[in-house]
Amino acid sequence: MRDLVVREALKAMAGDAAKRLRELIAGGEQIPYDVEEQGAGAPLPQYVPLTERFIGDHAPALLELDSFGSGCAAIESAGLARPYLGELGVAVPTNERKRAELAGVAFLCRLWQGSTDFSLDAERVANAIAELEAQGEAADDEIEVVVPLRGLQLPITRLELATATIVRADTVEVPAEARASEGTGAAGWEPAFLAAARVSAGEAADGGAEPKADAGARAVAAFRELITTLRLFKAGSVSLGPYAWTRAGANRWRRIATGAGRSRPGGYRLVEQELGDLAALSRTLAYRSSPFARSAAHGRGASRALGRAISRFEAGLERGVPLEALNDHLLALRFLLEGGGPAELSLSMRVAALCAEPEHRGETKAIVDRGIALERELWSGEPATAPDQALTPAETAVAIEDLIRAILRDAACGHLGSDLRSTADEILLADGLAVGEGAGEQRGGVEEWEALEREPDAPLEEPEPLEQPQPLEPTGADPVDRWVHAPVEWEEATRATEPAAAMQVPEPAGRIRVEPRPHPEEQNVFNAQPELEPPTTTMEPVQPQEGLPDQPQGRLAELLEERPRERQQTADRVAYLFPRPDTTEWDVREISYDRRRRARVPAS
């Protein structure tokens, strides 16, 4: 498929370059020559002009031309610079701008090779352009496929994405029927855009075990992946046209059906600031290790659920109005977030955890709850109760569409892990610990954990001696009978609180006596008792002693069996506080992911 923009840009560049080179010759510059022998029997040598050297030496003067910059940009955007330089045997620079400029100089050198007048002969120009365009032609085992894109409008004429190239229809050489804007959703004055791709007809599957599907089917699959990327990127109405055109090599174009359905009314417009983000998203989704690529390859588990959710999301976008797509979008959310998970939270709470910050989760949860109520109303016919200042049904459907788009986009890129239920629950648990008992202001500092450091040369302080308590002297009593010894402070406190009246004390016969030592009879009894064995530290079975009858072990065995049952009952009561995580499908790209990441929802 030849690019008409490249052809026109090269013609303009050749005209301006010829004019500038003639001015240099008129100003005194000379074209160098080389002398070659004509062969045996030739009386005179042949002078060969080195026009290529002359053009290369005066390349800085050519770079000042506006048309030269436009022609080089067209060559690079069409992907012709690298193969063209490689065909000529010139080292290819890695820098795109230098590569394009070198390709433009090489084109002028090939145009006026062996010429000294820098004429613009139509045949010479056509041959030079054909040589350059031949580097972009499909190989014998490749087929080209183009398909119109309904509703798409770009501010540029060409956009390279991972699976296909988007070009303006009037800038490439395609059938007139494919260039027509009728049926594309564009106005009569707006251009139509095409998606173009090349597929190898003899390409084999990974490992060479099985051949891939038909080349045309693989091209249509690449275009559908392009449409999915556009729909996940932003809101809008975009879809494939009903027919695509294909050809192999230089053969004629043939029309094939795509089987794509119509999208809802509206359009899909991109501004220049969004093109870079769209290209980055396309490259991310095209990686084989991304969840989106695994779901497209009929993956299992989480990848399969993601594929079903994306399919249901796109089915909703093909409905006539957003309210009719409410059931599809809620079903896509249920595929990913309903049921299971460590905390077994509700669908609306998990959507709020993934799409909103803590201070805005209540609003997001209310939107999802409102959508579920509207879905129930559509099923049963009973009107749902709406709170004051609630969104209208149409606004609720649009809001839920934005939420599911944000979740699917981040999940397809791998930002939310393999299990979105666990990711949402962990985000809520982490935020709960941040404001609950695990908050930093409640945990306090670590000063009390640190030991007091003492200077090595500081002397140790001597502790102050404790005051010895003064015994109370008994009055008018037998020295054998005495009161319990008490500190002096007790006596002073008692004197300060009691009145000045005389203290009444019991008679010596009624006083409490404390004997300093036991009587000899009691001491004899204590000495007669046998010495007991020290207690054991573990639950060991008691060994029978000699001379004593065998002691039963039944009660001890019952106690040992009863304790594990009590521990199990306690564990069952608190099991809900420590839920066991579900089995996780480990993947290298998903070992670490940002649990604090929020899905970006465009502001309405």
Q: In this structure, how many other beta carbons lie within 10 angstroms of the beta carbon of residue 262?
A: 13
Segment 499-520 mean pLDDT: 53
Amino acid identity of 88? L
| Distance of alpha carbon 72 from alpha carbon 98, whole angstroms | 9
Contact 158, 168 (CB under 8 A): yes
Whole-Å CA distances, 222 to 284, 465, 536? 15, 92, 77
Q: Calculate what percentage of the chain has a pLDDT beyond 90.
A: 20
Q: Closest by alpha carbon to 225, among 303, 154, 307, 159? A: 307
pLDDT digits (tens, 9 = 90+) for 472-507: 454 444 444 444 454 555 455 445 445 555 555 555
Answer yes or no: is pLDDT of 161 > 60: yes
Question: Tell me, what's the pLDDT at 594?
Answer: 60
Q: Closest by alpha carbon to 397, among 330, 311, 334? A: 330
Question: Tell me, what's the pLDDT at 560?
Answer: 72
Q: Is 372 helix (H, G, I), strand (E, B) or coil?
A: helix
Q: What is the pTM of this model?
A: 0.64
pLDDT band for 389, please (50, 70, 90 cuts).
confident
| Distance of alpha carbon 474 from alpha carbon 478, whole angstroms | 8
Question: Tell me, what's the pLDDT at 16?
Answer: 92
Answer yes or no: is pLDDT of 405 > 90: yes
Structure tokens belonging to residue 243 = 């027919």
Lowest mean pLDDT among 37-51, 130-144, 245-259: 37-51
Q: Return phi, psi of residue 354, to 5°.
A: -80, -25
Q: Return phi, psi of residue 106, to 5°.
A: -65, -35
pLDDT band for 277, please (50, 70, 90 cuts).
very high
| Distance of alpha carbon 166 from alpha carbon 238, whole angstroms | 13
pLDDT band for 400, please (50, 70, 90 cuts).
very high
pLDDT digits (tens, 9 = 90+) for 192-250: 899 998 887 765 444 444 455 677 677 878 888 999 999 999 999 999 888 888 888 77
Look at the block and give the residue holding tokens 């609950």: 436
Answer yes or no: is pLDDT of 557 > 80: no
Q: Return phi, psi of residue 165, to 5°.
A: -115, 130
Segment 318-322 mean pLDDT: 87
Question: Tell me, what's the pLDDT at 525?
Answer: 47
Q: Which helix (H) or strand (E) holds 431?
A: helix 420-435
Structure tokens belonging to residue 437 = 């008992």
Question: Tell me, what's the pLDDT at 503?
Answer: 52
Q: Closest by alpha carbon to 402, among 151, 599, 150, 154? A: 599
Structure tokens belonging to residue 562 = 């009863």
Any idea where the domains of the chain sit in the sequence?
1-137, 139-202+211-286, 297-434
Contact 371, 384 (CB under 8 A): no
Question: Tell me, what's the pLDDT at 593?
Answer: 52
Answer yes or no: is pLDDT of 595 > 80: no
